[in-house]
Chain A
Amino acid sequence: MSVDIQLPVLKPTDFASDQDVRWCPGCGDYAILAQMKKVMPTLGIPREKIVFISGIGCSSRFPYYMNTYGMHSIHGRAPAVATGLKAVRPDLNVWVITGDGDGLSIGGNHLMHAIRRNLDINIVLFNNRIYGLTKGQYSPTSPLGKKTKSTPMGAIDNPLNPLSIAIGCEATFVARTIDTEIKHLGEVLKRAAEHPGTAFVEVYQNCNVFNDGAWAYAKERETKADTTLELVHGKPLIFGKNREKGIRLNGMDPEVVELGKGVSEDDLLFHDEKAPEPSLAYLLSRMRFEDGFPEPIGVFRCVEKPQYDDMINEQIETAINERGKGDLDKLFRSGDTWDVA
């Protein structure tokens, strides 16, 4: 896809619909919406070619606020709706907006299969680790022990890790960003848009009403340098306020090391988003704050593989080239026939 930045004809405001935005004041979704509107004009795609599909949940109201084509579908099914749309119309730029409940719980099956088909769509999963629209039940990403309305004694389900799931589904593009890191958020969305094939983006998003501060460690100015790690392709994994710490491999496992005390940058793990095998991306996805690791943000994996939407249409072209455009009159007479005078 060509993404040369020419003089944009459209402005972010051209992507705002006439509908009042009805998320709670202070919701992290506002920042994602704002960045999406900023990214859109930079893509060089006409507005009428863009379609946002969502399921159900707070995040899934998103399409109403974008002045593009859109469908607010049913719970968990957005990837399947997008699959039908993109298969028939590969010319469209299709986005799926989902959440941790919509995408990983009720719609887990569709998410898995959309990713493995590698359709050229962009899936943005707003992860706030809670059910917001139904007013505060635990979600598939809520931590063990999480006390909510439906888990008064604490959640006893092991949480899912969205990126580990995506990588397990053979995702070709996997990234993570944070609602409050608006520059990073915008860059990641743009990278996702530019990726041919399914791009899966997890956004740490704060629900200030039902799960305020769920990502505080990764967002607060004082802590974020130590709790997150910005991935840069080809560069060593370094983090910390003074970039004094790094990640080194110890056998099969990552470990946090201090730079300088006999450890140089060359000893560290170098990021390679193009690695053909997803092992490195998977290892990075498993690094969690509660286990003493910084959580990586940025692009974990970006490789190219054939796309379902291309292949389904190529098969049609091949069939037409090999057999000619279908002739119904011939088809009707393709079996044994007989004439009655």
Chain B
Amino acid sequence: MSTTTAAQKTTRTLDDATVRFCGDSGDGMQLAGSQFTNTSALVGNDIATFPDFPAEIRAPRGTLAGVSGFQIHFSSKDIYTPGDTVDALVAMNPAALATNIGDLRSGGILIANSDAFDAKGLEQAGYKTNPLEDGTLKSHRVHSVDMTKLTRSAVEGMGLSVKESDKCRNFFAMGLVFWLYDRPLEPTLRFIDEKFGRKAEVAQANTAALKAGYHYGETVEAISTQFHVPKAKLAPGTYTSIVGNTALAWGMMTAARLSGKRLFLGAYPITPASDILHELAKHKNFDVLTFQAEDEIAAMTATIGAAFAGAMAITASSGPGIALKAEGMGLAVMTELPMIVINVQRGGPSTGLPTKTEQADLLQAMFGRNGECPIPVIAASSPADCFEISQEAWRLAVRYMTPVLLLTDGYIANGSEPWRIPNFADLPKIEVKHPGPQANGDAFLPYKRDERLARPWALPGTVGLEHRIGGLEKQDITGNVSYDPANHQHMVNTRAQKVANIANDIPPQKLDGPATGDLLVLSWGGTYGACATAVHNVQAKGKSVTHCHLRYLNPLPKELGNILSRFKKVLIPELNMGQLKTVIRAKYLVDAIGLNKVQGKPFSVAEVVEKIESLLKGDTKDSQAKPEPIDSETTIKAVLEKVAHGG
């Protein structure tokens, strides 16, 4: 490593910056990203992250298919998205460069591990010449760093094999980027100590690599500027950085405590929902039962059994798993038992894009069951929102004795943001009632309803309340099997009305912007950040546009029809082909316009801004986001050439 004295460096202060680490899926990029995230949160920035990894656990090393990335947007202001374009890109190999360079802004910093740009690496990524040398990257500030060599020399003499030494490269890269953005090393040093403490030589080597990277930034002359992003002005409180799936698991545990219930999760492993199972399985001392079922159907029906038993019963899956649960959800509707079905949406149809985000299960959630089978549907808007919405889902489930579908998506589930930690004692209790024993010999009436149309939740074990429920149509009040035509009509109406009644029990729909005007941007779920930021950007230019973000999708807020009628145009940006738009057009006869994207990626702010501005200028048409520029020269063409040559 260079021993020259620290070069003359300048420091620039920025409002915000976006960094992406990318490399082979075995390069430890998710770890680098999450460490950078935690450190940025600890220094007081607002943060938003976007991990992006391949479906294959270990695709062949060095290939385009094996590239894994982690993007962090950190800021001194409020931010809602992980950033459209990247200010600094760390590429550990040519494949990572090829698949990510399109997102690096013009003038952005590229830090490339030049040791990986050998003939084999270049060929695997489809490069004919070395992009670090052939001038194709001249619109970026390129730093070719021989990271492999530098890391090996930093850990020399610590008793590691070459292979083990190379595993420290991500720490070298982290160290360099930590210096570049003026971040402290201490949180990562603490992490190394906790994670590798038992393997002293690994801990020592990772520490050495991290520091070597940091000192490299400090000393190498080619990197002349260090950037500083000051603290954000967040609301007072204690914060932690939280990932969506963790927030959801904690939210469910909190809801169980607030209602005095055991928590039961029935689940079958599926990306990107499995982390909910993993998180809950850790917390058995909170009286959390996790049941890894034999399949999605068993996960669903065991959840129904647990609900009948009196637990707070939940199941978590993703689109294909939800499809398998559909019949069970019908039984949950018919038996009118409270439970939560979580769909962490991913790209579909079929197996689709397991690790990529999409919002294309909305209509499945609303209508994807046989018969007239209404289920309340709510959607989380951000990683931290997963905490609160879990409690809201349970509140609705028990107040209305109904399954509730809670939608998140891969982007929210794996993304993270600062979360202001609540005090448990300050959270509102969730009231649950069970009828008590009945010794007078009167028949118990399991389908006698309260003013909200909810039936009683009578628990097995209660004397005198013995009753039978099931999937056959029920006679109202008695719950006995009934094939009576008038009763069936009445029960279908009643179940629909019960769900519709929830609209009287939810907060008024908020608007961000004027109450009337030329354009309303109507969004739901995980697109909140991109839509809110886009609307703020356009508003900042003095134009009139209003944002309405829906948390409740079934039933929709009762004032929504009125809101829609006060705007000349309604834009619905969705990561699907127009599913909310279909619902809105059908329900309110509003000629809503769609901005649609199904590319496995969230909206960029720029995409939404562009459509808003186009609509304000007279555009009236639906449109699709243009696919982000993948490096077509090196990827698609390379594939086609290989195919042409019989490769």
Contact = CB atoms under 8 A, between A and B. Distances in A.
Given A69-B466, A340-B235, A53 B240 contact: no
Given A84-B302, A87-B306, A89-B461, A323 B285 contact: yes
B283 A82 contact: no
Given A53-B305, A87-B291, A88-B311, A77 B460 contact: no
A105 to B, nearest CB: 14
B241 A336 contact: yes
B250 A49 contact: no
Task: Across the A-B interface, give the 9 residue pairs with the lowest CB-CB distance, nearest first.
Answer: A72-B470, A84-B305, A326-B286, A84-B302, A84-B306, A319-B284, A85-B305, A80-B298, A319-B285
Contacts of A333: 238, 240, 421
Interface stretch (A60-68, A288-296, A298-306): A60-68
A117 B559 CA distance: 51
Contacts of B264: 84, 87-88
Interface in B407-458: 421-424, 443
Contacts of B313: 84, 88
Contacts of B298: 77, 80, 83, 109-110, 113
B583 interface: no
Contact of A340 (B234, B443, B466): B234
A49 B461 contact: yes
B308 to A, nearest CB: 6
B436 to A, nearest CB: 12
Interface in A325-341: 325-326, 328-329, 331-333, 335-341
Interface residues of B, number: 71
A69 B468 contact: yes
B428 to A, nearest CB: 14
A46 B463 contact: yes
B38 A72 contact: no
Max count, chain B CB within 10 A of own CB: residue among A64, A74, A109: A74
A77 B297 contact: yes
Nearest to B44: A338
Interface in B43-75: 44
B66 to A, nearest CB: 29
Contacts of A36: none
A64 B468 contact: yes
A73 B287 contact: no
B305 A326 contact: no
A84 B287 CA distance: 15
Contacts of A73: 301, 304, 331, 470-471
Contacts of B240: 332-333, 335-338
Contact of B44 (A319, A325, A329, A340): A340
A313 B284 CA distance: 9
Contact of A84 (B266, B462, B465, B472): B266
Contacts of A84: 264, 266, 291, 301-309, 313
A253 interface: no
17 contacts: A46-B463, A63-B470, A69-B468, A71-B470, A80-B293, A81-B301, A83-B291, A88-B264, A89-B461, A110-B298, A313-B289, A316-B287, A326-B253, A337-B239, A337-B421, A338-B239, A339-B238
Contact of A74 (B187, B266, B469, B471): B471
Contact of B302 (A49, A66, A83, A319): A83
A242 interface: no
B526 interface: no
A49 B460 CA distance: 6
Nearest to A110: B298
A91 interface: yes
A6 interface: no
Given A18-B443, A84-B309, A316 B463 contact: no
B631 interface: no
Interface in B190-228: none
Nearest to A326: B286
B349 interface: no
B472 A72 contact: yes
Interface string B238-249: 111110000000
A112 B468 CA distance: 26
B187 to A, nearest CB: 6
A51 interface: yes
A335 B238 CA distance: 12
A97 B471 CA distance: 15
B630 interface: no
Given A48-B463, A326-B288, A331-B286, 8 more contacts: A66-B468, A71-B335, A84-B306, A315-B284, A332-B421, A336-B241, A339-B237, A340-B237
Nearest to A78: B301
B612 interface: no
A17, A73, A82 — most chain B CB neighbours (10 Å): A73
B533 interface: no
Contacts of A318: 284
